A and B are shown apart, each in its own frame.
Chain A
Amino acid sequence: MKMKTEALLSSGLDVTLIRNEFPILDQRIHGRDLVYFDNAATSQKPLSVINALVDYYKGYNANIHRGIHTLAEKATKAYEETRITAKNFINANSEDEIIFTRGVTESINLVASSYGRTFLSEGDEIIVSGLEHHSNIVPWQFVCGEKKVNLKVIPVTNEGVLDIEAYRKLLSSRTKIVSVNHASNSLGTINPVKEIIQLAHAAGAVVFIDGAQAGAHLEIDVQDLDCDFYALSSHKMYGPTGTGLLYGKRELLEKMPPYQGGGEMIRDVTFEKTTYNDLPYKFEAGTPNIGDVVAYRYAMDFITALGRDNITAHEHSLLLHATQRLSELKGVKLVGTAPSKVSVVSFTVEGIHPFDIGQMLDARGIAVRTGHHCTQPLMDRFGIEGTVRASFAVYNTKHEIDLLIEGLERVINFMK
């Protein structure tokens, strides 16, 4: 990995070299080279991650923390090394503040259930934004229903930007939780999370940041942000599916009750009383997803090795190229034109259903996403059923964007 990394960097992000690390990209779909533009749904995995999974299952699969044999120790060490890598990746204060979950969705459910049920009461308010994925809406609705808490929504402007003035007005002493994404999965908008957090704290609320669309693209420093909770999904940042993490400030995690009961999270169990384990194990009931967590570390290492500045620069040039070329196409309307975006373009084409566009692009080997992207309230805000979304990763090229444009031109001409 190290040798390769140096080679990658000395060439200033040589995308050809990067692509060699992603064997899946080298295939043909319906007779054409695959163009993978569904990275906001899930990214592809580099060889270092794939090999880590294979090495784990071939070499040292064992249950962790309790075993005294050599394999168990090796597996435990690898699992905990990912925690240290994650701590550094998001600049947490301590690895005890890193809890492995199935991903962002489970992380939100954990906090909504554990923190929400314990510390919220009737008349309190939770603020989310109009840019949220359903997974950052529904878990809070559960709490709202149960505790008679109200859900407030930060409105979205025509450009797809959060209306911060309106947010200021929503905040009050009743606000207990603010939960927003770092970047929008549907439109790519990067939210001013630091400002959102400061304002929430001034009102006495805690803040949860959904980092699903930030992990692969943006610098994340939870101490600088001063967020109370932050969540990542491994599979959206070059890691395996089925794992991810929740960061929480220690003092909050300490006072939260466990989310699930089982092995690993306990200290002593009798039929009369159970005492819980320390952080972070208190929140990791049952045998965790060891293999995927072990491999997740290599995904974070991959991003760190390339350098998030380099990744951002490359992806930004892709975003600019795609935005430019799409806006030249007749009938194409970009949805979400925020000044600050991750590499996502969402658009509609006049008179053609996104579903048809997606199917026709797939026939040319181009993978995009169509539909509401699990953000129905946001689609309603723009008065549309859905969009076509192309989302880029570090291995994508301008040439691939040109192929997308060529495909779209063909679709538009056929449907005329």
Chain B
Amino acid sequence: MLDGDMEMTVFYIMELGQKLPEMPEEVKTEENIVKGCQSKVWLMSAMEGEKIHFIADSNTAITKGLVSLLIRIYDGQTPENILHSDLYFMNRIGMERFIGTQRSNGFAAMIKQMKLYALAFKTKMEVKL
């Protein structure tokens, strides 16, 4: 899927980013920034019933595309599912080859942040029970 011509792949990823639902400017705050990304990424989450929803944005088109891929996977999942997910698909679809080390660090930070949100919601739910 992402292992064809590099330029077309990059263009495709940027197009994915354009489809990402808009994140309101007022929540693009310092505390919602995911550390470790070379370009800026803002990430927020909310619980709806038993499922987590994410909104995110980036100041660069390519990172935004990558973020949108993650959101597609994790949005609407239960905390349990997110915590136990294994993103093996990234290598399978040829994604790692253009998420260089510097950026994959940021990418890893983003996944970690999403899992942290999941953990927080899971803990909150258990406390309520």
User: Interface on A for B, CB 8 Å cutoff?
Assistant: 30-31, 352-353, 355-356, 359-360, 362-364, 371, 410, 414-415
Nearest-CB residue, chain B, relative to A365: B6
The number of A-B residue pairs with CB atoms under 8 Å apart is 38
Complex contact A355–B62 (CB within 8 A): yes
CB distance from A54 to the nearest CB of B (A): 28
**Known: A355-B60, A355-B62, A356-B60. Is A31-B11 also a contact (CB below 8 A)?**
no
By a CB distance below 8 angstroms, the chain A residues around B63 are 355
Q: Please tell me if the beta carbons of B61 and A415 are within 8 angstroms of each other in the complex.
A: yes
Q: For A415, list chain B residues within 8 Å (CB).
A: 61
Q: Decide: A359 near B59, CB < 8 A? Known: A31-B5, A353-B39.
A: no
Known: A31-B5, A360-B62, A363-B6. 8 other contacts (CB 8 A): A30-B7, A353-B39, A353-B60, A359-B98, A360-B7, A363-B10, A371-B38, A414-B11
The size class of the interface chain B forms with chain A is: 10 to 19
CB contacts (< 8 Å) of B98 on chain A: these are: 359, 363
**Is the C-beta of B14 less than 8 angstroms from some C-beta in chain A?**
yes
State whether the Cβ of B9 lies closer than 8 Å to any Cβ in chain A: yes
B5 cross-chain contacts in A, Cβ below 8 A: 30-31
Residues of chain B within 8 A of A371, CB atoms compared: 38
The answer for the CA separation of A325 and B27 in the assembled complex, in Å, is 41
Expressed in whole angstroms, the Cα–Cα distance for A352 and B14 within the complex equals 12
| Residue interface mask B14-27, A partner, CB < 8 A = 1 | 10000000000000
State A356–B59 Cα separation when bound (angstroms).
Answer: 10
Distance from A347 Cβ to chain B, minimum over Cβ atoms (Å): 17
Query: Chain B residues with Cβ under 8 A from A360's Cβ?
Result: 7, 10, 62
| Residue in chain A with minimal CB distance to B8 | A363
Contact for A356 among B6, B7, B9, B14, CB less than 8 A: B14
Residues of B75-129 at the interface with A, using a CB-CB cut-off of 8 Å, are 98
**A-contact bits for B38-63, CB 8 A (1 contact / 0 none):** 11000000000000000000011111
Point out which of A30, A31, A359, A360 has the most chain B C-beta atoms below 10 A from its C-beta: A359
Q: Select from chain A the residue with minimum beta-carbon distance to B63.
A: A355
B13's closest neighbor in chain A, by CB? A359
- Alpha-carbon separation in the docked complex, A371 to B102 (Å): 13
